[in-house]
Amino acid sequence: MSATPVYIVCSPRPQVGKTLLSRLAVEYLLLRNGDVLAFDVNLKEPSLLDYLPKVTETADVTDTLGKMHLMDRVIANDGLAKVIDLGFHAFDEFFKMTEEIGFMKEALRRGVVPLILFVADTDRGSARAYEMLSEQIPRANLITVDNEYVVRGELPSAMADGRQFHLPALPTFLKTYIDRLSFSFTGYLRQEHDSSTELHQWIRGSYLGFRELELSMLLQQS
């Protein structure tokens, strides 16, 4: 069986675009593969479950049963891509767990490829969190997300050295538009025939970014 990707979108900071990036990943995978399974580990609304309820389940990593249930699902090399929208409140507990159980090594042994999408910020907490992940996650599996809406300027040097996923900032009126619960990125691409619009190019660019991650994953497995 070919490798099964698991996208883990994370940051120790709130309101940096984790759910937005998770939505993009889920819709891209739905468009490309026809199916995907997403997990929402968040406290506040709106969350991924509100945007994409048909393919999203809630998950809890605050107790042993919740952790086991989530890990059993994401460790399976079943060909079904997974996306975890990891709320900032669960960041430390989640990666403490993955380190304790040897998640990365076991996942790769089974043909599951975790891709850790760390949404960058310039605060000390993000710097410490990135340093921790760098020690736990192989370089090929750790991707720094440069969300221009959050980091207005250059990435911190430590985060700029590794693999990156670029997310350009949108004007406020477009950001408000895509934040509606009824909005679909793929639906917009299908309905808007003018490919020169800023939002059309932004969505296509994001989808191409995920495609490049997939290609690098395949090279990693070869």
Of 6, 145, 143, 136, nearest to 82 by C-alpha is 6
Q: Report whether pLDDT(4) > 50.
A: yes
Average pLDDT of the residues in 147-170: 91
Domains of the chain and CATH, by start: 4-221 (3.40.50.300)
Neighbours of 134 (CB within 10 A): 16
Work out the pLDDT band at 37, boundaries 50, 70, 90: very high
pLDDT at 220: 64
* Banded pLDDT at 221 (limits 50, 70, 90): low
Helix, strand, or coil (residue 55): coil
Burial degree of 4 (CB within 10 A; 0-12, 13-18, 19+): buried
pTM for the predicted model, two decimal places = 0.95
